[in-house]
Amino acid sequence: MNLASPDIYKRLLGQRALDGGGYILAPDGSVTGSVLYQVLTGNPEPPGGARMPLGSSVDPATLQCVAEWIADMGAIPDSGVRDATPHG
């Protein structure tokens, strides 16, 4: 998944994860309710049971960046209208 592509938040917001276990980005902007965050942290156990990236983990700074991006975009009315790419 390329989080730097144009309008990524708008395209992922409210979209179901392939396994149907939740939303890639929760419609309410919840960090912990977003499958994207769940697969990076393994908490709670992500849908499908696979933590990403396989065989390793995301460093704390990157994880914090993703969490802030989800939270910040969820707080913006009509999120995704602008290109909002995570910076890390």
pLDDT, tens digit (0-9, with 9 covering 90-100), for 12-29:
888 888 876 788 888 888
Tens digits of residue pLDDT in 41-87: 887 676 667 778 888 888 999 999 989 888 887 655 554 433 444 44
The candidate with the shortest Cα–Cα distance to 78, out of 15, 27, 35, is 27
> Would 85 be classed as within a structural domain?
no
- Provide the strand spans (E) within the chain: none
Q: Is 13 helix (H, G, I), strand (E, B) or coil?
A: strand
> Would 69 be classed as within a structural domain?
yes
> Would 55 be classed as within a structural domain?
yes
> Would 82 be classed as within a structural domain?
no
The candidate with the shortest Cα–Cα distance to 19, out of 37, 35, 30, is 35
Structure pTM? 0.72
Which range of residues forms the domain containing residue 59? 8-74
Sign of CA dihedral 27, 34, 29, 85: negative
Number of domains in the chain: 1
> Would 65 be classed as within a structural domain?
yes
